[in-house]
């Protein structure tokens, strides 16, 4: 594995911005421009939003002995009950050579869905404190996700009506993951191979142990796969935001969908929580009208989101790093 870590990704402070403010507020428009720049240039940035999540809630969710750790410490037989008809929406673990174990709560903003998940994991008790912490945590992260999603859509020229309709057609998934450390000071072990997300956005938080590496600068530099890898050192309580394939399609290729991976070192277990936003499975994904014109013809054909997800997880596609082009790039002949 190339160890070309000279890149960096932007850190943007959103502290104090009213999530409901919108474009009449000058701070909103200033930060919106920085967010769009970061997602166009790198597809990723670190968001600082002090005060969004109380330290007690962060500790209850991701701290030692907190909700995420208690979930991952269940026996595999219990965790394996987290299943789904769709790929990558349930338990993933026991992959040879990968110190990765992960579960997914589909629809985490709905308290009933969180309760149903906990009932499956803890059939005797239902684990009320897990439900309360994770639901409250997801709701807070979703405030930031909605704000960033709206900023991107506004930057791409979408109307207020479009943004409202798009919000109704969006679904959420909370993925909770444990990465076991290699236990040696200088060892570097892949925790999750390089991939791009299929989602609109992914908002990641962690238990103060870094591990994510992002191919920054649209992959156009010197490193493996073209770009330089950044290994952002996240401030405690800050958020790492990634744009996925679907946002690249909506913005007709402007927003980038970066390759990213997890590389573990040291001797401390890493826990992460990621809120993914994506279109509902039956939604047709296509560029917004304002992003397409004679100079910028559509780069991708329209497609149904659920069909794309199924395509991405076909065995022959798993190692491919540019699934979106393989599935939906418009071929220009001649």
Ligand X SMILES: O=C(O)CCC(=O)C(=O)O
Cβ burial 61-97 (10 Å sphere, 16+ → b, else e): bbbeebbbbebbebeeeebeebeeeeeebbbbbeeee
**Based on CB atoms, which residue is closest to Fe ion, 130 or 276?**
276
**Based on CB atoms, which residue is closest to Fe ion, 261 or 268?**
261
d(CA 122, CA 159): 45
Nearest to 206 by CA among 302, 141, 124: 141
Binding to ligand X (CB under 6 A) within 166-205 occurs at 175, 177, 192, 197, 204
Q: Tell me if 215 contacts Fe ion by CB under 5 A.
A: no
- List the single partner that 251 binds among Fe ion, ligand X, none, CB under 5 to 8 Å by kind: none
Q: Tell me the residue number closest to ligand X, measured at CB.
A: 272
Among all chains, which residue has been given the structure tokens 């240039």?
A: 41
Rule CB under 5 A: choose which of 197, 213, 215, 245 binds Fe ion: 197
Q: Tell me if 291 contacts ligand X by CB under 6 A.
A: no
Both tokens of residue 16? 């104090």
3-state helix, strand, coil in the chain (%, to 5): 35, 25, 45
Phi and psi angles of residue 29, each rounded to the nearest 5 degrees, phi first: -70, -35
Q: Tell me if 46 contacts Fe ion by CB under 5 A.
A: no
**Based on CB atoms, which residue is closest to Fe ion, 60 or 274?**
274
**Based on CB atoms, which residue is closest to Fe ion, 31 or 104?**
104
**Based on CB atoms, which residue is closest to Fe ion, 193 or 237?**
193
d(CA 174, CA 104): 6
User: Applying CB under 6 A, which residues contact ligand X?
Assistant: 175, 177, 192, 197, 204, 211-212, 260, 262, 272, 274
User: Applying CB under 5 A, which residues contact Fe ion?
Assistant: 197
């Amino acid at each position: 594995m190339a160890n070309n870590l000279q890149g960096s990704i932007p850190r943007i402070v959103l502290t104090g911005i009213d999530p409901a403010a919108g474009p009449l507020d000058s701070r909103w428009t200033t930060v919106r421009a920085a967010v769009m720049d970061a997602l166009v240039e790198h597809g990723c940035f670190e968001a600082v939003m002090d005060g969004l999540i109380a330290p007690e809630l962060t500790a209850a969710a991701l701290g030692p002995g907190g909700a995420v750790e208690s979930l991952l410490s269940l026996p595999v037989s219990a965790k394996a009950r987290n299943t789904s008809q769709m790929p990558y929406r349930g338990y993933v673990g026991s992959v040879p050579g990968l110190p990765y174990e992960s579960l997914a709560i589909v629809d985490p903003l709905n308290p009933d869905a969180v309760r149903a998940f906990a009932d499956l994991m803890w059939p005797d008790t239902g684990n009320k404190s897990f439900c309360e912490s994770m639901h409250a945590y997801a709701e807070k992260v979703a405030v930031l996700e909605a704000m960033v999603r709206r900023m991107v859509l506004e930057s791409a020229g979408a109307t207020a009506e479009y943004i409202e309709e798009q919000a109704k057609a969006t679904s959420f998934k909370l993925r909770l993951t444990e990465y076991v450390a290699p236990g040696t000071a200088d060892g570097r072990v892949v925790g999750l191979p390089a991939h791009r997300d299929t989602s609109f956005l992914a908002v990641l938080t962690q238990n103060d142990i870094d591990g994510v590496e992002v191919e920054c600068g649209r992959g156009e530099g010197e490193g493996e796969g073209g770009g330089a890898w950044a290994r952002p050192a996240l401030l405690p309580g800050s958020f790492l935001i990634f744009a996925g394939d679907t946002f690249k399609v909506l913005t007709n290729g402007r927003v980038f969908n970066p390759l990213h991976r997890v590389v573990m070192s040291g001797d401390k277990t890493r826990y992460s929580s990621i809120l993914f936003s994506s279109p509902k499975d039956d939604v047709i994904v296509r560029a917004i009208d304002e992003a397409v014109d004679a100079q910028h013809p559509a780069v991708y054909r329209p497609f149904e989101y659920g069909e794309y997800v199924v395509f991405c997880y076909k065995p022959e596609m798993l190692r491919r790093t540019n699934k979106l082009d393989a599935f939906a790039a418009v071929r220009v002949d001649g």
